[in-house]
């Protein structure tokens, strides 16, 4: 998906139209980016039917503690999403994501209760989380009040940043029926630093696959390990490049080499 970053609504508008032109149909418009209105207006003006798009919003409600306080904060966040997306006549979401878990199990369960209400009201089709550990996922999954399970857990994950066993988090989430979506799959922030040497190693591997770029190799590594990813860019060439990773496959030896670069 294309994940919008922190910039003003006008930039979000321009980049969303660019992404749509390049073929993107899956979007992550986080409340943390502060530009959901600009994104929504671009969707409206694109003329692309709503049912051809997959739109995910997000809520930040981890700054309060306790079931009731977390539930109320999350309800407020859900309403804020709908109001912002309403600027582009978007009246439902395909997914909404908790950007961060609450401070304890009760708080997480309060957050999830508000999400389930939104789902019951048919304002969102699926629910997801971000930055959740296996134990924090279990706070949701093992709660008798849970009727709708998270389908995605967005985590920092890249060739430059991953556990010693690069598939550990993916496997732990898969056991719980949850797909990992990598954020910062090309580095920066918690996605790790792609040094010049690391980029050169990825690019060298790419030469054997029709001169794929270092970024295409790094994204292909994420996909072959069983995760999806959300990416960001402000260049049309990169929008196009990042989609062209499904026409080649890394060998087991190449995957093992890349596993050892973090």
pLDDT score recorded for residue 188: 75
Q: Could you write out the DSSP letters of every residue in 4-50?
A: --S--HHHHHHHHHHHHHHT--EEE--GGGT-HHHHHHHHHHH---G
Around Cβ 66, how many Cβ atoms within 10 Å?
A: 14
Residue 192: pLDDT above 80?
no
Mean pLDDT of 76-82: 95
Q: Rounded to 10 degrees, what is the CA torsion of 194, 179, 249, 213?
A: -30
53-64 residue pLDDT tens: 999 999 999 999
Least confident of 115-124, 175-184, 189-198, 241-250: 189-198
pLDDT tens for 102-157 read 999 999 999 999 999 999 999 999 999 999 999 999 999 999 999 999 999 999 99
Q: For 24-53, write each residue's pLDDT tens digit.
A: 999 999 998 899 999 999 999 999 999 999
Average pLDDT over residues 168-185: 97
Residue 30: closest CA among 53, 54, 60: 60
Residue 225: pLDDT over 70:
yes
pLDDT value, residue 6: 80
| Lookup result for tokens 């149909």 | 25
- Please give the Cα distance from 12 to 34 (Å, whole number): 9
Check: CB of residue 96 under 8 Å from CB of residue 128: yes
Q: Residue 191 pLDDT more than 70? A: no
Answer yes or no: are the C-beta atoms of 187 and 158 closer than 8 Å: yes
Mean residue pLDDT of the chain comes to 96
For the entire predicted model, the pTM comes to 0.95
Residue 190 pLDDT > 70, yes or no?
Answer: no
CB contact set of 211 (below 8 Å; sequence gap of 6+): none
Tell me how far apart the alpha carbons of residues 256 and 118 are, in angstroms, rounded to a whole number. 42
Joined tokens for residue 58: 């997000």
120 SS3 class: helix
Phi, psi of 224 (to 5 degrees): -70, -20
């Amino acid at each position: 998906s294309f994940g919008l970053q922190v910039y003003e609504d006008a930039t979000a508008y321009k980049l969303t139209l660019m992404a749509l032109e390049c073929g993107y149909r899956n979007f992550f418009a986080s409340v943390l980016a502060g530009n959901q209105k600009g994104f929504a207006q671009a969707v409206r003006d694109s003329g692309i039917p709503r049912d051809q798009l997959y739109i995910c919003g997000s809520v930040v409600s981890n700054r309060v503690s306790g079931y009731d306080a977390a539930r109320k904060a999350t309800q407020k966040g859900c309403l804020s999403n709908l109001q912002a997306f309403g600027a582009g006549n978007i009246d439902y979401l395909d997914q909404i994501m908790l950007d961060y878990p609450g401070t304890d199990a009760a708080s997480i369960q309060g957050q999830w209760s508000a999400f389930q209400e939104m789902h019951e009201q048919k304002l969102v089709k699926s629910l997801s989380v971000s930055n959740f550990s296996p134990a924090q996922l279990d706070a949701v999954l093992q709660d008798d009040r849970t009727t709708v399970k998270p389908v995605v857990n967005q985590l920092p994950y890249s060739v430059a940043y991953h556990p010693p066993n690069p598939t550990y988090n993916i496997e732990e989430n898969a056991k719980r029926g949850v797909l990992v979506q990598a954020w910062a799959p090309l580095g920066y922030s918690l996605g790790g630093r792609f040094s010049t040497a690391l980029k050169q190693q990825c690019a060298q591997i790419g030469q054997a696959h029709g001169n794929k770029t270092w970024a295409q190799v790094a994204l292909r590594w994420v996909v072959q390990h069983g995760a999806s990813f959300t990416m960001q860019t402000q260049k049309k060439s990169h929008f196009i490049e990042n989609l062209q990773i499904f026409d080649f496959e890394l060998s087991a030896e190449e995957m093992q080499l890349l596993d050892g670069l973090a």
